[in-house]
Amino acid sequence: MRLLNKFTLWYLLITALVLPAGGIIVFKMVQFEIVHEESHKLKDTVKLIAKKLKEGTSVEAIAGYQVTINEWKMDRPELPLKVIDTLAWFEPHNHNERVLKTVASYKINGKHYFISTFNYIGEPDEIATGVTRSLTLISILLLFLVVLANWLISKRILLPFNQTLQAIKSFNLKQKGHMKLAPTSTQEFKELNLFLDKMTVKALEDYRNLKEFSENASHELQTPLAIIRGKLELLMETGITEEQAAFISSIHNEIKKLSQINQSLTLLTKLENHEYEAHPINLSNLINHSLTAFEELIEMKSLKVEKEVEENVFVRLNPFLADILLKNLLSNAIRHNVENGSIKVALSSSELIIKNTGNPPEVPLEQMFKRFKKTNQSSSSIGLGLAIVKQICDLNHFKIQYTYENALHQIRLGLL
C-alpha cells in the first residue's frame, strides 16, 4: 500500500472516531443552550409581567397566547419561579411537542397572581437529526478534501522521495560517478539522500576495489605459476629419473588446475559484474565449429555424434561467452561419457539440447550448478564448468535445465 494511502486511511479512521464524539458534544451543547436560553427568556417574561402588574397594567392587557395569569387566594404561599420541561399538545401538528414552561406566583397590590408562560422548543431527536445531517455533510466534504489533498501532496511533498526511489532503482554499480539525487527541503528526505549518497559512494568504491583485486589477484597468481612451470621445464632437461618425472608430471597437472581455477574465478567475477556485452551471434555456426574442434576427442572415446542443428540460429550473447558456454557443455558431454557412448546436439531457434550417455550422477542434479560440485568428487576436474555455464545463462536470461533420464544426461537451454 502506498505511503499516502496509509496516511489517509489512518486519518479517516481517526475522523470516523472523532466525528460521532463531536456529534454527541454538539448535540449536548445545543440542547443545553436552547433550554438554558429559553428558560432565561421565559423567566424574564414572567418577571416582566409581574412588574407590569405592579405598575398597574390590567391582567387582560397582558394575558394572551402563551401567557396565562390567574388569581390565587391570598392565603396560598407564593410559588417561587421555576421552569418545567414538559410536553404539550400542539394543535397545528396534531401531536405533542416539547414545551418549556415557567411558573410563579406573586402577591402584588393585595392580590395573588399566578403567572405562567410557555414556549415550544426543539425536541432532542430533532436536534440530533440536525447534528447528524451536518456531520454527514462535513464527512463528505472532508473525504473529498482528503482525497484531493492526498493527490496534491503526493505530487508536491513526496516528489523528492519518489525521485530518490527512481534514482535507487536505476542505480548501477558499473556506472561512473555517484548517484544524482534531487535537492529537497524536507528534513527527512535530506537525511535519506545524504545517507544514500554515502552508501552508494561506498558501494561503488567497494565494487571498484573488488574488481581491481580480482584482476590483480589473477595477474599476481599467473606470474608465479608461469615461473614454476618454466622451472619445471628446465628441471626436466637435467637428466631426471622416472620417479622424478612422475612427480614433475603431477606438479604440471596441478599447475594447470591452479591456473584454470584462477581464470575461472576471474571469469565468474567478471560475469557477476556484467562486464560482457551481448551481440547477435550465429549459434549454429559456433556449434558446428566447436564440434569440429572436439572431433579428435570424440573419436578417442569412439562416441557417436548425432547432430540436429538448425541453420542460422541467432542469439544475443557475447561471442567470448558463447564460446566458453559451448566448450564447457560439449567437453562435459565428452568427458563424462562412456566408451562407445553417444552425444546428441539439437539446436532450434527456441532451444539447445545436449544429450549424452554417461554414468548416473552421484550428487543431486540441482547441486550440479554450484561451484566446486562434481559428479565424482575425486575426479580431477576443477568443478567450475557448470557454475560458469549457469552464470552465463542467468546473465542472458536463458533457462537451463539438467535432467537424467533413461541413462541419458540432458542439458536443455531455453533460448527465448
Look-up of cell digits 414552561? 101
Cα–Cα distance, 64 to 80 (Å, whole number): 22
CB of 303 to other proteins, least distance (A): 12
Asked whether position 379 contacts other proteins by CB under 8 A, the answer is: yes
Q: Are 38 and 98 in contact (CB under 8 A)?
A: no
Cα–Cα distance, 402 to 405 (Å, whole number): 10
Select the residue interacting with other proteins from 385, 389, 393, 409 (CB under 8 A): 385
Closest CA to 404 of 370, 358, 367: 358
| Contact region with other proteins (CB under 8 A), list: 65-73, 118-126, 341-349, 378-386 | 378-386
Pick between residue 136 and residue 379 the one whose CB is nearest to other proteins. 379
Pick between residue 200 and residue 269 the one whose CB is nearest to other proteins. 269
Amino acid at 312: N
Pick between residue 44 and residue 295 the one whose CB is nearest to other proteins. 295
Select the residue interacting with other proteins from 47, 107, 211, 327 (CB under 8 A): 327
Select the residue interacting with other proteins from 249, 340, 377, 401 (CB under 8 A): 249
Site track 329-368 with other proteins (rule: CB under 8 A), x = hit? --xx-xx---------------------------------
Select the residue interacting with other proteins from 78, 191, 215, 272 (CB under 8 A): 215
The secondary structure of residue 365, as a DSSP letter, is: G
Asked whether position 254 contacts other proteins by CB under 8 A, the answer is: no
Asked whether position 380 contacts other proteins by CB under 8 A, the answer is: yes
Q: Are 343 and 306 in contact (CB under 8 A)?
A: yes
Cα–Cα distance, 281 to 325 (Å, whole number): 13
Cβ neighbours of residue 11 under 8 Å, at least 6 residues apart?
A: 146
| Alpha helix stretches (DSSP H) within 56-182 | 59-62, 124-156, 159-169
Asked whether position 41 contacts other proteins by CB under 8 A, the answer is: no
Pick between residue 163 and residue 266 the one whose CB is nearest to other proteins. 266
- Please state, in angstroms and as integers, the Cα–Cα distance from residue 267 to each residue in 372, 380, 413, following that order: 15, 20, 21
The secondary structure of residue 344, as a DSSP letter, is: E
Cα–Cα distance, 263 to 304 (Å, whole number): 32
Select the residue interacting with other proteins from 91, 296, 339, 366 (CB under 8 A): 296
Select the residue interacting with other proteins from 60, 75, 125, 237 (CB under 8 A): 237
Q: Which grid cell is 194? A: 545524504
Closest CA to 47 of 103, 126, 124: 103
Pick between residue 96 and residue 380 the one whose CB is nearest to other proteins. 380
Select the residue interacting with other proteins from 47, 107, 178, 252 (CB under 8 A): 252
Q: Which spans of this chain sit near other proteins (rule: CB under 8 A)? A: 215, 218-223, 225-231, 233-234, 236-237, 242, 245-246, 248-249, 252-253, 255-256, 259-260, 263, 266, 293-294, 296-297, 300, 320, 327-328, 331-332, 334-335, 379-381, 385
